[in-house]
Amino acid sequence: MKTPDLINVDDLFEKALSESLEGLAFIELESHQKRQSLPGLREDDWVTRISIDAPFQAFVTLIFDDTFANDLVENVTMEMEKITETMIRDALAEVANTVVGRLAYSLLDGESDFSIGLPSCERGSHPGGVLSVSRKPTILEFLMVEGRVLGIFETPDDANVKVA
C-alpha cells in the first residue's frame, strides 16, 4: 500500500477541482489562495463532505456559494427555469465525488486502489462536521466568475500519511 505524500496536496486539490469543474460544468477557475482559517459561512452556502476511506483516511469538504451552485446546475442541465434544491444537491454531490476521486488517484500516483464514501450535502452556516478531525486542515479558496468555492482537506491527526 502506498502512503500518500501530502506535501503537494494544495496543487493536487486545485488540479482536481479545476479539471472536475471544467469537465462537468464548463466552469473555469480564475485563481485560488491558501487560507489559514475558515471564513464565516452564510445561511445560503452549500456544504458537501465526502471521505476517502482506503488506503488512507481523509475528508474533503467543499463549500459552494448559492450563486455558484445555481450557475453550476444551469451549466450541467441547461435548465434555466426552475432549479430545485434536489437538483443542486445532486450536482454538488457529483462534483464532490469527481473531485475526491481525482484527488485520491493523484495522491496515490495512480498506484493503488482507493475507496471513497458517499457525499453529504447540507445547506446553511452551521453544517455538521466541518473541520472536525484535524487540527491542521488545508483550506483553499477558489475564485471564478461564477462565484466562490472553499475546499478543505483534512486527515485525522493519527492518519498514516506523510505531511510537510
pLDDT band (50, 70, 90) for residue 78: confident
Rounded Cα distance between 121 and 46, Å, is 7
Whether residue 156 has pLDDT greater than 90: no
Which H or E element spans position 105? helix 85-107
Whether residue 133 has pLDDT greater than 70: no
pLDDT of residue 91: 92
Rounded Cα distance between 103 and 124, Å, is 26
pLDDT of residue 60: 93
More confident residue, 35 or 96: 96
Whether the CB-CB separation of 97 and 50 falls below 8 Å is answered with yes
Q: State percent of the chain over pLDDT 90.
A: 31
Whether residue 104 has pLDDT greater than 90: yes
Tens of pLDDT, residues 110-122: 778 899 999 999 8
In this prediction the pTM is: 0.86
Domains of the chain with CATH codes: 6-154 (3.40.1550.10)
Q: In 6-160, at which residue ranges do the beta strands (DSSP E only) sit?
A: 31-35, 46-54, 58-64, 115-116, 120-123, 138-144, 147-154
Whether residue 155 has pLDDT greater than 80: yes
User: Which residue bears the cell 479558496?
Assistant: 141
